[in-house]
Homo-oligomer: A and B are copies of this chain.
Amino acid sequence: MNAAAQTFDTQLRRCADQVTACLEALLSDAVAPDEIARPPALLAAMRHGVLNGGKRLRPFLVMESTALFGGDAHAAIRVAAALECVHCYSLVHDDLPAMDDDDLRRGQPTVHIAYGEANAILAGDSLLTLAFDILAGPETTLPDAVKTALVLALARASGLGGMAGGQALDLAAETAAPDEQGIVTLQAMKTGALIRFACEAGAIVSGTGAEDRARLRQFGERIGRAFQLADDLLDLKADARTMGKATGKDEARGKATLVARRGTDWAEAELARLVAEASALLSPYGDAAETLIDAAAFVANRDH
């Protein structure tokens, strides 16, 4: 790892620690105002789903995009924690037997294996609900207009027309392979929408103008596509290594990816193109955008 990568890695870890501490405090056994009780089994399942050693990439993007505009760093941690609740709820539900049926995540039993399927469904539901609780709560010290904008943007990125819709398309793709445009739409929804929100969130938190917001949104859109391409490439490479042939888990499940269709050379060129576009979008901000540009490279080149 070179010096720049090491610095980036340190920054990513520092952010992860801050967001994890915030989530840890939110998911203590202390009952919040207007709550009646916190049932221990459900709380434990939620904690298992969200306090699991994730890289916290989306939170990092929220905090760095906020820093770019000099926004409130404390509030950004809370917004980042809210976004991570949505991301983790989606993993808990995606792992369920009726969905991807995964027993392990990051080497640990998935929530439904550890706490049962009913608690896993409810833990996902409660993490999703908590996300909006955090955004609207009094400890998120932002103007009400900003909170409202964040709630709306996060809901649009997460629901029927965003992440959840993308998961529905992904499940449908197992029985009827989509065409290339279908794959692009599926991926923009399933993984792209939340990453785009993460980048846009900093502009919303900071209350900067519509032009900045649009620019960060476009940046996030490129990062989202790069993230998915890198993921598909990693899957293909991992399986080529472990199985001795280029048949990935996605392919085995009948899920078409752009990498499978267009090949790894195309994918690597496309990744480089997306990182260059993302960097160019932030050129008006000069050196202040350095960490976000590093993040784009990290997303494209990560090896796990």
Contacts and interface: CB of A to CB of B under 8 A. Distances in A.
A30 to B, nearest CB: 10
Contacts of A160: 35, 38-39, 42-43, 46, 126, 129-130
A122 interface: yes
A128 B39 CA distance: 20
A3 interface: no
B99 A121 contact: yes
A42 B168 contact: yes
A296 interface: no
B151 A130 contact: no
A132 interface: yes
Contacts of A132: 132, 151, 154-155
Nearest to A152: B136
10 contacts: A34-B156, A36-B162, A39-B169, A42-B168, A93-B125, A118-B171, A128-B129, A132-B151, A133-B156, A144-B147
Interface in A254-296: none
A80 interface: no
A42 B190 CA distance: 14
Contacts of A53: none
A172 B39 contact: yes
A36 B189 contact: yes
A87 B155 CA distance: 17
A132 B36 CA distance: 21
Interface in A161-201: 161-162, 164-169, 171-172, 185, 188-189, 192-193
Contact of A148 (B89, B124, B130, B144): B144
